[in-house]
Amino acid sequence: MLKKLVVSAIVATFSLPALAGDASPESAKAIAMPFLKQLVAENQKAVAEGGPESAIKVCKEIAPKMAGDISRKQGLKLSRVSLKVRNPLLGTPDAWEQKVLKEFEVRASQGEKPETIEFSEVVQEPAGKYFRFMKAIALQPGCVSCHGSSEQIPENVKARLAEEYPFDRATGYAPGQIRGAVSVKQPM
């Protein structure tokens, strides 16, 4: 119950103007950027307050809840996707997202800073026309306790992860690498 309250309080502080009908890189960014910033801040706060194990809830509960609430309220789909997912249910990229994530890797290998890498496109699909936007998520030093190398992940966190995500592929990352992307898909 308390956990629920904490999550809704965090989500409640995160309000955005409705952007219906306004599909552009700027509007997508206006949704994706605060979401990302808030996540990193929540992560730092949770790690500082209760150590890495208590920060699991940020990636596991707060992030999907925020993404779901924003999606419903804005009439679009906001999600976090990756080529190496921990949670295949929420994080598996569709074909367009896979292509863009692969291009992000190429751009990073050519020297672009992951923090600045993004891409948008208008895509025609059988269900209609969509404005699509993706922004790379760079791994921060604070993320390695759950997404880093085996030596960087504390034993208690490793045990929780093994129990909850037996098919986890989201480890072995170093700070500065692309962990995945925030994806916005908005009907036009």
d(CA 61, CA 123): 30
Does 177 participate in binding ligand HEC (rule CB under 6 A)? no
The answer to whether residues 78 and 67 touch, using CB atoms and an 8 Å cutoff, is: yes
Using CB under 6 A as the binding criterion, the count of chain residues that bind ligand HEC stands at: 26
Q: For tokens 């604070």, what's the residue?
A: 142
Does 152 participate in binding ligand HEC (rule CB under 6 A)? no
**Using CB under 6 A, which of 7, 30, 90, 108 touches ligand HEC?**
90
Does 82 participate in binding ligand HEC (rule CB under 6 A)? yes
Please name which of 102, 100, 78 lies closest in space to residue 14, comparing C-alpha atoms. 78
Q: Which of the ranges 78-86, 93-101, 105-113, 125-133 carries the binding residues for ligand HEC, by CB under 6 A?
A: 78-86
Q: What is the dihedral of CA 14, 61, 185, 133, to 10 degrees?
A: 80
The answer to whether residues 132 and 148 touch, using CB atoms and an 8 Å cutoff, is: no
Q: Which of the ranges 10-18, 65-73, 83-91, 107-115 carries the binding residues for ligand HEC, by CB under 6 A?
A: 83-91
Does 171 participate in binding ligand HEC (rule CB under 6 A)? no
Residue 184 makes CB contacts below 8 A (sequence gap 6+) with 28, 31, 32, 76, 77, 78, 131, 132, 133, 134
Does 140 participate in binding ligand HEC (rule CB under 6 A)? yes
Which residues bind to ligand HEC, rule: CB under 6 A? 40, 43, 52, 55-56, 59-60, 64, 80, 82, 85-87, 90-91, 137, 139-140, 142-143, 145-147, 170, 179-180
